Amino acid sequence: MVHVGIGYDVHQLVVGRKLVLGGVEIPHPKGLDGHSDADALMHAICDAVLGALGEEDIGHFFPNTDPRWKGVPSRIFLEEAARIIKLRNGRIVNIDATVIAQAPKIYPHIAEMKRHISIALDIAEKQVGVKATTNETMGFIGREEGIAAMAVASIDLPA
């Protein structure tokens, strides 16, 4: 039986942090603020996977109050989500995600992001879709104050 989950994440852009999206460090004068590496794309995908499993969100599994997760790469969160799927004898059908950022340009990094995401989830790159868009200069994203990501995950689980 196929289950679908949706995920969303947003982080503020700040000076003094590296910008990491989809496991890729992107050159930019600001990075995303957060407890881990603040990879909004991987966080949204993790929430989508957890949602398809009927689980609580990423904050339940990896709370930002826990020092174990301080500064860790978000691929660890995806690896754990993939482990839970395997424990339940399930498999990921596909992941589809969108990054919403006014700057920097995301498109040049998408192939590498897909590679990192597919490795973390132990699936083929062709099962991962990553797109990018701007916010047409509107709102906090348009003012380059933050970056958001949304994702959908389809998981086949035994009945």
Summarised one tens digit per residue, pLDDT across range 49-58 is: 999 999 999 9
Supply the pLDDT for residue 151.
98
Supply the pLDDT for residue 14.
98
Mean per-residue pLDDT, 131-158? 98
Q: Which two tokens stand for residue 10?
A: 């947003």
Supply the pLDDT for residue 96.
98
CATH code, residues 2-156: 3.30.1330.50
Supply the pLDDT for residue 159.
85
| Angstrom distance (rounded) from CA 125 to CA 122 | 9
| Angstrom distance (rounded) from CA 142 to CA 156 | 37
Summarised one tens digit per residue, pLDDT across range 1-39 is: 999 999 999 999 999 999 999 999 999 999 999 999 999
| Angstrom distance (rounded) from CA 140 to CA 16 | 19
Structural contact between residues 129 and 149, judged by C-beta atoms closer than 8 angstroms: no
Summarised one tens digit per residue, pLDDT across range 70-101 is: 989 999 999 999 999 999 999 999 999 999 99
pLDDT tier, 119 (very low <50, low <70, confident <90, very high otherwise): very high
